[in-house]
Structure 1
Amino acid sequence: MHKHRLTLPQTLSLGFFSIIFIGTLLLLLPFATTQGNHTTFMNALFTATSATCITGLTVVPTATHWTVFGQMVIMYLMEIGALGFMSFTAMLYTLANRRMDLSTRLLVKDSLNLANLSDTHTVTKYVIRLSIVIQAIGAILLAPDLIDRFGVTRGLYYSVFHSISSFGNAGFVIFPENFSVFANDPYMLSITSILIIAGGLGFLVWRDILLYPKLHRYSLHSKIAMGTSFILILMAFVIFMITEHNLDFYQHTLSFSNRVIDTLFMAVSPRTAGFEIMPYSAVSLAGIAFTMFLMYVGGTPGSTAGGIKTTTLGILWLQTWAALRGKEDVTFGNRRFSQSNINRALMLVFVSALFLGAVTLVLSMTEQTPREFGIEYIGFEVFAAFSTTGLSLGLTPSLTVFGKILIMLVMFVGRVGVFTVMFSVLNVHAKPATYRYPEENILIG
């Protein structure tokens, strides 16, 4: 009996599969689709996967294809996907005034990337409360702008939907026109950017920020996450200012101050949010390449973001810098990283790069590439799916059935986690080694 029990990674993966399946069934209901449109099973499955994995890639227009019911299904899937279904399971325990059993606490610990099992109950309540507060404040701040544009009823509805989509780094929009309509709206872009950053920083980082006045210190995790995020945003802003010639696409319609805000938004959004203020087909090749790098990195562990995460990039950079200076230990903030921590980061980068390369290769053989694009047309979509970003050069709506299945797999791996999926498939169980082989070196470089 024992050997047939599901492992924690398998349970987490199965939980996400269940949410996606329920969402697919709801989107297939006749009243989920607007009159004159038809939803196939594959399109409903793709949309449910994209919403649950908070990606934002779409095969049908969200604003016109789905009714309010369909859009609300997508909104709830985004919320569950952003916080993780185990957070909602824990919330049900709290509402029922019941104590979580050990297996549930282990799942919550794994899904939220917690270090200690004792933190599960406290952190879960904190995650849910903080998420509700930030999204509510976001909706309130967005409401005046959107009510002025669309009226009270639609403006309030758009505010709630867009606040959830922004904080969840989901990238879904239900505005009648593209998000580019806000290119001349610095207020809208600023609030959206703040929500994206708030969701991408991670709940544990926010806990450190809120407790700093009392504790007067940050954890090593928060220092690495905030430092790497700040550097990436600053670097992206400078590079996009150079590569896009200060948003040359809008040169006749934007003031200089608005171009600066728009460039800053472009630096924030690709990390995993996926809102477009200009079509990426108009972005320079250098801008596309750097956007793929930003998408690959993504946000912070324990957040609503995807990618290999900022802490992975941070620890590998520190490892490289230490090695170049001839140091054996990798240190930061008067702390030393364990070798297992570094090995895990290296393995994540290697496995994810191998996986994305293989998917890009397969899709380049099954999907059509326009003449004006090269392999970046395929690779951009694959990186967007893995990082749960949702940006597109136009491939997703024209994907073949096989292509949709493959992109759905990449979205799932990007949201649930490379290690979680890998350990689920391989059914990994840690076994202590009773012996070690002799050590020997090989030539490198």
Structure 2
Amino acid sequence: MFNRVQNFFTQISAPIYIVLMFVLISFIGGLLLATPLASQSGQWTKLIDAWFTAVSAVCVTGNVTVNTTEHWNYIGRTIILILIEIGGLGFMTLWVTLFIYMGKQINLRLHKVLLESLNISDISEVRDLLRYIIQFSLIVQISGAVILGIDFIPRFGWLKGIYYSVFHSISAFCNAGFDLLGDSLVGFQDNPLVLITCIVLIIIGGLGFIVWRDLLTFNRNQKLLWHTKIVLMITIVLLIGGTILFAITEQDSVLFQNQSGLMKGINYLFLAVTPRTAGYSNIDYTLLSPAGIFLTIVLMFIGASSGSTGGGIKTTTLATLLIFSSSAIHRKGRIIFKRAIPDGAILKAVFILISGMVLITFATMILLITETIPPGFGIEYIVVEVVSCFSTVGLSMGLTPNLTPIGKTVLMFMMLIGRIGLLTVFWSANMGRKPSKIKYPQGNLMIG
């Protein structure tokens, strides 16, 4: 039996391997969370709720059907934290790093799986990149925990304060959105230290490991990768544009009515940062204006950058689509920063956009049938939840705790697809199929 299982895992493709490992890790995490050892009450947790929490953690999402603070004890919270770290850094990153430190050789197959999971193409980069990812992540997360400890330790005491600082630093860096404060960061609207620290951790995690390695070696190389330039440009535009738009949409809101101009600016920036797959909330999203909710949905759908701890269709996909659209309008080449975007990248970007919208539409339709929308809410009550799970964000207008079993299953599926990646998931489904050799004449089709 063991040999059959081993043979199966050695024969399957890299995309299928990644999909199965994410499902397996989340299910094991769910089983552990379902035991009485993980709950505050000392009783068994429903498997569907435990598995939902585990999927949300390993997919670094943050949507939960049970309150993290009230339901889980420190064992359960630590299991969640481990799953967040696995999901944020990537299970293959941790697994292969362990192999290296144990002195074991990495075969070609493991290299291929790792290249697929990290979204890189050069096999010679693997060892150095792994070492860098682990070191960089530890330094950033420890630094974040130390800064958060300045507030949390006096507030909660030494042991609890240190644990809370580490938990929220890892959760913010991994763009997970899990919190132990009960109401996320709503109670810290007037606390610039906590808000700014989380903003910085979220941005660092959302830019991607490749980008940060490029930035940190800029003094030596005196140049930036083409990918890095595009990511930085789109990220800056989204952060500045999002902050300004939230300041406009919420100018008549009661959300930050009694705050100074500086604190309003920090909170507007937080509103622009957190939908980019982070999931921490500094407000009750049911009080956000309709325009603010729509802007949040758009930012969630875009998400973070490729090779990062976040989800969404990614900033590079957005840049590719914008350049392609601009070239079609102005009849110019698909050029950005003196480089042409290849046809393959455009096809991938279009596929990701269309398949993402189709999946969100399909999931929304199912939840509109199975879930109950409370009085005073509209379709946004469902859409925010679906896009949040697809983009592994974690923001909610209150639906998650009230989900039906069908709703929980659909959103778990969306979280897994969002974290693994649309290309990886659909490639795994089509592995082994040979392309058709039949060629057909082209037809004339009226477009537009």
TM-score grouping bracket, smaller chain normalisation: over 0.9
Change (3 A) 1:4 1:69: closer
- Is 2:338 aligned against 1:334? yes
- Correspondent of 1:350 among 354, 366, 379: 354
Identity %: 39
Q: After alignment, is 104-113 or 90-99 more displaced?
A: 90-99
Q: Return the offset for 1:423.
A: 2.1
Counterpart residue type for residue 442 of structure 1: L
- Is 2:165 aligned against 1:159? yes
* Native 8 Å contact 1:60 1:397 kept in 2: yes
Q: What does residue range 191-340 of structure 1 map to in structure 2 within 5 Å?
A: 191-245=197-251, 248-252=254-258, 254-327=259-332, 329-340=333-344
Q: The residue matched to 2:278 in structure 1 has which SS?
A: coil
* Native 8 Å contact 1:295 1:383 kept in 2: yes
Change (3 A) 1:443 1:41: same
* Native 8 Å contact 2:35 2:44 kept in 1: no
Change (3 A) 1:3 1:213: closer
- Correspondent of 2:195 among 156, 166, 189: 189
- 1:16 maps to 22
- 1:172 maps to 178
Q: Return the offset for 1:133.
A: 1.0
- 1:394 maps to 398
- Is 2:144 aligned against 1:123? no
- 2:142 maps to 136
- 2:78 maps to 72
Counterpart residue type for residue 142 of structure 2: A
Change (3 A) 1:190 1:430: farther
- 2:430 maps to 426
Q: Return the offset for 1:438.
A: 3.8
Change (3 A) 1:41 1:427: same
* Native 8 Å contact 1:247 1:259 kept in 2: no
- TM-score under structure 2 length normalisation: 0.95
Q: Return the offset for 1:118.
A: 1.8
* Native 8 Å contact 2:35 2:43 kept in 1: no
The number of residues matched between the two structures is 442
Q: Return the offset for 1:256.
A: 2.0
Measure the CA separation in 1 of the matches of 2:237 and 2:399. Answer: 31
- TM-score under structure 1 length normalisation: 0.96
Measure the CA separation in 1 of the matches of 2:51 and 2:244. Answer: 39
List alignment gaps of at least 5 residues for structure 2: 1-6
Measure the CA separation in 2 of the matches of 1:22 and 1:2. Answer: 19
- 2:389 maps to 385
Q: Return the offset for 1:428.
A: 4.9
* Native 8 Å contact 1:241 1:247 kept in 2: no
Measure the CA separation in 2 of the matches of 1:311 and 1:422. Answer: 19
Measure the CA separation in 2 of the matches of 1:440 and 1:202. Answer: 42
Q: Return the offset for 1:349.
A: 0.4
Measure the CA separation in 1 of the matches of 2:434 and 2:137. Answer: 34
- 1:443 maps to 446
Measure the CA separation in 1 of the matches of 2:140 and 2:10. Answer: 41
- Correspondent of 2:100 among 94, 97, 104: 94
Counterpart residue type for residue 258 of structure 1: M
Change (3 A) 1:333 1:444: same
Q: CA RMSD in A?
A: 1.7
